[in-house]
Amino acid sequence: MRIYSIICTRSKELTPVTQRLVSKLSSLPSKVMLMTNQESIFSGYKKAFDHVEPEDDDIFILCHDDIEINGDPKDIVKALTIVNAEGYGFAGAAGTKLLGQDAVWWDQKNWGKGLHSGEVWHPDESSSKSSSEVKEFHRTNYGPLSKVVVLDGLFLAASAKTLRTIGLEKPNYLEGEWDFYDIHYTFTAFEKGLTNVTIPLRILHYSRGELVGREGWHKNRMAFIRTHSLPARI
């Protein structure tokens, strides 16, 4: 079993946050594949995966470039190995047991009903928007670790076998090249009968979730809704 980490970005420059992320992922140890200056996160992930020609039990981490991962590398690897258990799909930091008709995994009403899972650390509202200047974080507790329908794409892990099963290429029904890939990937695994789970990870995410203001996110969300039968629940 080998571990590969794929980081896909639109630019060539690596921020201090990304540089620290590369160092942490390398310590697992994993082979870090930086796919910089990409036009699509789908094609970026697929190119990196195809280049490796992995064995079925190799583990792949697909993650954002604006996160930090804290914790002992041995504990992280131990948590990741669940993706090689029979019938498992993706593992990640946060997700939901119910994907509603709006296809928004972090839906506040469902959160209040205890249907979300996992945790992520986010910058305090008082912190600067510059990732290099963020000093204070708060814990966003979504709910106890559990099986979930879909996972947030800030950190996803899966076996090579799972990634071959679902396919990393952009599906024809999606228009945008950077949005809703995480919901598409993890929901496809769920539809194929694989079990997605949240695992113990301490991740600092420097984004405040402003992707909802992007036109591409809204277009891909509506395309997903038109294509899939919702709601879906564990």
Task: Compute the distance between CA of residue 134 and CA of residue 37 in angstroms, rounded to an integer.
Answer: 25
C-beta separation of 4 from 52 below 8 A: yes
- Mean pLDDT score of the chain, rounded to an integer? 93
pLDDT computed for residue 133 by the predictor: 61
pLDDT tens readout for residues 123-136 = 876 555 555 566 68
- Report domain extents, the chain: 3-233
Task: Compute the distance between CA of residue 132 and CA of residue 6 in angstroms, rounded to an integer.
Answer: 22
- 3-233 is a CATH 1.10.357.10 domain: no
Task: Compute the distance between CA of residue 70 and CA of residue 13 in angstroms, rounded to an integer.
Answer: 23
pTM of the model: 0.94
pLDDT computed for residue 151 by the predictor: 98
